[in-house]
Amino acid sequence: MADSNPFNPEDWLEAQRRYWDAWMDMSRKAVGSGGEQADWSRALDQWWQAAAQGLPQGTAGFLEPMLQMGRNYFSMAEQFHRNSGGQEGATEAVNKWLEQMTEAFRQMGTGSMGGKDMNAFWQMPLDTWRRATSSFMPMPGDFMQALRPAARPPYGDVVQEQLDRFLSVPGVGYTRESQEQYQDLARLAMEYQQALQNYQAAMARVGMDSVERFRARLEDAGRQDKPITSLRALYDEWVDVCEEVYGEFTLSEEYARVYGEMVNSLMALKRQGTRFMDEAAESLNMPTRREVNTLHRRLQESRRELHQIRSALRELQENQAKKGDEAKAGAQGATSGGSGTRGRSARSGGRTTAAKGASGSGRTQKSSAGTATSKQTDASTQTESKS
Amino acid sequence: MIPIQIRPDQVMDEITTFQNKLGVGMQNLADAQDIPTGVTPKEAVYREDKLTLYRFQPPAAVVQNPVPVLIVYALVNRPYMTDLQENRSTVKGLLDAGLDVYLIDWGYPDRADRYLTLDDYINGYLDRCVDEVRRRHGVDKINLLGICQGGTFSLCYSAIHPDKVANLITMVTPVDFQTPDNVLSHWVKHVDVDTLVDTMGNVPGELLNWTFLTLKPYQLMGQKYLDMVEVLQDKDKLDNFLRMEKWIFDSPDQAGEAYRQFIKDFYQKNKLMHGGLHIGDHEVDLSQVTMPVLNIFAEQDHLVPPDASRALGKKVGTQDYTELSFPGGHIGIYVSGKAQKMVPPAIGEWVEQRTK
């Protein structure tokens, strides 16, 4: 039987090894000559394009997040490496890297996208939001991007003002209602884009705060004589700081507000889009979402009632059976002259079915694991009893 | 002075090593088969709509407690987290501790389930599962083990139907939804849940995933994947990683009406703490929780902070209330090696002591 894996590991590994050897060789030469520096994140992209062709279907998609992180990591290494070449030391390289990030965050705050890979790291919450919501957006993402209000005055405000005026023109004539609906849709789209932009601007500020705290953290490490000795340690420290600053921000009132506005404005836009779709479906004599919702609601209500009726019926039947049993027992008692006894059967949701599959009798053996922990008294494990 | 001691050639070496690991590890990834989850043998004993009630097969050598335990998991993720793999299985630990274990799998709601309410889940599905287990064992009361949101459901259920619950165990269960460190509660403060549900119908799992990932975005969407490169070489570790990755992104959509009430009444109005919570026609009063309660929480839980769970102690009516504090996080409490040794045996012993 042929190997079902089309991916030939040995050839592939050898090919990728050669590829990276060549890149690293070039990078080393560049450092020595002071010539053009290596673009490692681009190298990773090119390598990935070639490598992905040999991978089984489905694997490539799974690896994408890892590659995305690899790009960010490589980008950080690249900047660090570039700046620490020649006469400049590692400290200077970090300072430059921090300055570049501050600048990138400043641009991000104005709505433009600087420093693609580094910003990709910081854009993760927003980027994931766009991906998560893309499946239920009424319009493609690029279209939404085009509606983004111009960010900076003086032109931004003027453009915004003109758009607002245009969207406020009263509808007239036969298509009045339709015109107003389109105006509402455009307004809601702009509100959503504004909310997205506010979120992005807030995150950019958090990014700048992170840079400052990172710098302070490094200086503190310097005072304590705890040097950072690897790129990965530097990256991990950076992630820790980012989480710390982000975590504080997300507990602020400002975050709750920008988050709420982003969700609410998207929902308002989506609802307006659904109205349009419903009208289109109705005009084609097709079921609308509104109608399907009505059907689902009524169906669920009927099912709920059905369960209640079944439950009431079962109770009635049981009561009746119980009375029958009592009457029978009474009759037997009268016939025999003795006193009747009533066994207690398990009550089971109104049913008296005998146990099935029950574990039954007494317990003679107990798992050793079952005696382990509730009496532990070490610092990390506490049990506390009110009884 | 910034204390960086990294030479340029060292950076290149790190990148080369990283790349080599990635390349070699991709062979393991390419060879990876579908990763099984939910490893303990079980049989479906009851089905209704998309719900399945399972009973796990007990080990032959262990004699079981006569009162079965029903695990009630959250709606927001899949319950196989409790039985992830052979050596990381809360279910297996409970079986080994002598418990007869049932579990509710809520399934994946679709748009036809949009009008399922919390009343349908708690007084409908859950109640019928409890009745089914009682019927099978011929007992009046069973043990409930509620996990996370499932713990909140179990609490509500126990308050409404105390006559059917012998002992209640809650794991990482939110009770006070508005402790200062409750990030999720803070985030939904200004969310218009009515518009959200009226617009979306069901709430997409992707949206919930986004929410959970953005609790710690740089670790969960970034650093984690760099760490993954380190485990690519080790087949077992890679399988563990993939299993967890599958679970994290396996998020069912949420039935719209149930979600609406859960967010509004629990997160936004904190009614479980302050009172006024109604599930269907029943008012939920935690003082009616009169059966013994074991409340287990995780000390580093970023989803359900310890104080959110601890609040239960002052609310329940029972005099037999025990807390167990686990030194780990919200997920570690099911899957870490430490949890396997500590949590299921503790539950087994606690139940055993209260089984007459």
- Report, as an integer, the average pLDDT of B167-171: 98
- H-only helix segments in chain B: 8-31, 90-96, 118-119, 127-137, 149-160, 183-187, 193-200, 205-213, 217-218, 224-231, 235-248, 256-261, 271-274, 306-310, 332-335, 337-354
CB contact under 8 A, A20 and B23: yes
* Chain B residues with CB-CB distance to A304 below 8 A: 119-120, 124
Phi-psi region of B172 (alpha: psi -120 to 50; beta: other; left: phi over 0): left
- Report, as an integer, the average pLDDT of A166-189: 77
Q: For B316-355, what is each residue's pLDDT tens digit?
A: 999 999 999 999 999 999 889 999 999 999 999 999 999 9
| A132, A371, A386: residue with CB nearest B349 | A371
Question: For A270, which residue in chain B has the nearest alpha carbon?
Answer: B199
**Min Cα–Cα distance to chain B from A319, Å:** 17
Q: DSSP string of A294-320? A: HHHHHHHHHHHHHHHHHHHHHHHHHHH
Q: For A193-246, what is each residue's pLDDT tens digit?
A: 899 889 988 988 888 898 899 888 888 888 888 888 888 888 888 889 989 999
Q: Which two tokens stand for residue A126?
A: 């927003």
In this structure, are strands B101-105 and B69-72 parallel, antiparallel, or unpaired?
Answer: parallel
Pick the more confident residue, A82 or B44. B44
pLDDT on residue B245 = 85
To 10 degrees, what angle do helices A176-223 and A231-250 make? 130
* Chain B residues with CB-CB distance to A128 below 8 A: 210, 213-214, 217, 221
| CA B79/CA B102 separation, integer angstroms | 12
pLDDT on residue A29 = 59
pLDDT on residue A384 = 42
CB contact under 8 A, B63 and A129: no
Q: Is B8 exposed, middle or buried (0-12, 13-18, 19+ CB in 10 A)?
A: buried
Pair B22, B16: CB distance under 8 Å = no
* Chain B residues with CB-CB distance to A254 below 8 A: none
Window B:137-176, CB contacts with A under 8 Å: 137-140
* Chain A residues with CB-CB distance to B184 below 8 A: none
pLDDT on residue A373 = 33
B326: β partners:
B298
| CA B77/CA B83 separation, integer angstroms | 13
| B32, B65, B341: residue with CB nearest A372 | B341
CB contact under 8 A, A56 and B30: yes
| B96, B186, B214: residue with CB nearest A251 | B186
- Asked if pLDDT for residue A257 goes beyond 50, the answer is yes
DSSP collapsed to 3 states, A106-163:
HHHHCCCCCCHHHHHHHCHHHHHHHHHHHCCCCCCHHHHHHCCCCCCCCHHHHHHHHH
**Min Cα–Cα distance to chain A from B79, Å:** 23
Pair B1, A222: CB distance under 8 Å = yes
Q: Is B218 helix (H, G, I), strand (E, B) or coil?
A: helix
**Min Cα–Cα distance to chain A from B231, Å:** 12
Pair B115, B257: CB distance under 8 Å = yes
pLDDT on residue B266 = 98
* Chain A residues with CB-CB distance to B50 below 8 A: none
**Min Cα–Cα distance to chain B from A110, Å:** 22
Q: For A100-141, what is each residue's pLDDT tens digit?
A: 778 777 777 666 554 444 455 556 666 666 666 666 555 544
Q: For B212-262, what is each residue's pLDDT tens digit?
A: 888 888 888 778 888 888 888 888 888 888 888 888 889 999 999 999 999
Band of pLDDT at residue B195, cut at 50, 70 and 90? very high
Q: For B48-80, what is each residue's pLDDT tens digit?
A: 999 999 999 998 888 889 999 999 999 999 999
* Chain A residues with CB-CB distance to B137 below 8 A: 346, 355, 357-359
pLDDT on residue A227 = 82
Pair B245, A65: CB distance under 8 Å = no
Which of A182, A188, A183, A181 is CA-nearest to residue A269? A188
Lowest mean pLDDT among A44-48, A118-122, A383-387, B164-168: A383-387
Domain boundaries, chain A: 56-136+144-286, 292-321
| CA B216/CA B213 separation, integer angstroms | 6
* Chain B residues with CB-CB distance to A255 below 8 A: 186-187
Pair B281, B253: CB distance under 8 Å = no
Of all helices (H) and strands (E), which one includes residue A49? Answer: helix A40-52
B148 counts as catalytic: yes
| Optimal mutation site among B15, B43, B187, B356, interface A, most CBs of chain A within 10 A | B15
pLDDT on residue B319 = 96
Query: What single DSSP character describes residue B313?
Result: G
Query: What single DSSP character describes residue B38?
Result: -
- Report, as an integer, the average pLDDT of B190-215: 92
Q: For B252-296, what is each residue's pLDDT tens digit?
A: 999 999 999 999 999 999 999 999 999 999 999 999 999 999 999
> Measured between CB atoms, does B60 come within 8 Å of chain A?
no
Domain boundaries, chain B: 42-353
Q: Is the peptide bond before A140 cis (omega within 30 degrees of 0)?
A: no
Query: What single DSSP character describes residue A349?
Result: T
Pair B128, B48: CB distance under 8 Å = yes
CB contact under 8 A, A349 and B348: no
- Asked if pLDDT for residue B32 goes beyond 90, the answer is no
Question: For A230, which residue in chain B has the nearest alpha carbon?
Answer: B6
B42: β partners:
B56
- Tally C-beta pairs within 8 A across A and B: 368
Query: Which stretches does DSSP call E strand in A39-106?
Result: none
With vertex at residue B35, the alpha carbon angle to CA B101 and CA B87, rounded to the nearest 5 degrees, is 45
- H-only helix segments in A251-288: 253-283
pLDDT on residue B349 = 96
- Asked if pLDDT for residue A325 goes beyond 80, the answer is yes
- Asked if pLDDT for residue A316 goes beyond 60, the answer is yes
| CA A206/CA A43 separation, integer angstroms | 30
Class of domain B42-353: alpha beta
CB contact under 8 A, A225 and B3: yes
> Measured between CB atoms, does B112 come within 8 Å of chain A?
yes
Pair A132, B206: CB distance under 8 Å = yes
